[in-house]
């Protein structure tokens, strides 16, 4: 794995798996080795919101996307799908993966209630890695904001079309 590229092959008799386990909790390792919901959604779809956030200090970048069910099908507008792409450390990848799992099935308001502290607690992130869970929270909020803006624009377009038809 590329994460091991800069770590010496053997440090005081520990294998690479032992060294990785010393720095990362098993939940982080699981999400890193088996990330959930990796990929992209169609950003031109009006039901898709995209959040792109980064941390210049460490170089982590997250793109998180949500797809909301059509309001005509689900009045509450629950999130039916979520995808992510992350360039960063194991904790950043794990935070993104967990965030996409947690937002699925939630309403927009429920998803807005997810906090970085919840993500950090679930993944047992050490203080030095808390910025990864903060990025995940920011990515969720950015995706939801993008979705809301698209919905407002779609509503304005619909109103303009209706006004044009009424004036004919």
Q: Name the nearest CA neighbour of 64 among 81, 47, 46.
A: 81
Q: Is 132 a catalytic residue?
A: yes
| Annotated catalytic residue within 66, 108, 125, 132 | 132
Query: Is 47:77 a contact under the CB 8 Å cutoff?
Result: no
Q: Please count the other Cβ atoms lying within 10 Å of the Cβ belonging to residue 112.
A: 15
Backbone angles phi, psi at 54, to 5 degrees: -150, 160
Q: Name the nearest CA neighbour of 129 among 146, 116, 112, 115.
A: 116
Q: Is 124 a catalytic residue?
A: no
| Annotated catalytic residue within 19, 38, 52, 58 | 58
Instruction: Return the active site residues.
Output: 58, 132
């Amino acid at each position: 794995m590329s994460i091991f590229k800069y770590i010496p092959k053997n440090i005081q008799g520990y294998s690479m798996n032992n060294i990785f386990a010393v720095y990362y909790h098993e939940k982080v390792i699981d999400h890193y080795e088996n990330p959930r919901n990796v990929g992209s959604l169609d950003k031109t779809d009006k039901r898709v919101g995209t959040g792109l956030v980064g941390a210049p200090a460490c170089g982590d970048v997250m793109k998180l996307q949500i797809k909301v069910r059509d309001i005509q099908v689900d009045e509450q507008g629950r999130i039916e799908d979520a995808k992510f792409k992350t360039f960063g450390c194991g904790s950043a990848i794990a935070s993104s993966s967990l965030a996409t799992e947690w937002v699925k099935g939630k309403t927009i308001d429920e998803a807005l209630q997810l906090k970085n502290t919840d993500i950090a607690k679930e993944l047992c992130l050490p203080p030095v890695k808390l910025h990864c869970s903060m990025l995940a929270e920011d990515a969720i909020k950015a995706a939801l904001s993008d979705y809301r803006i698209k919905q407002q624009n779609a509503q304005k377009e619909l109103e303009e079309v209706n006004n044009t038809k009424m004036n004919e």
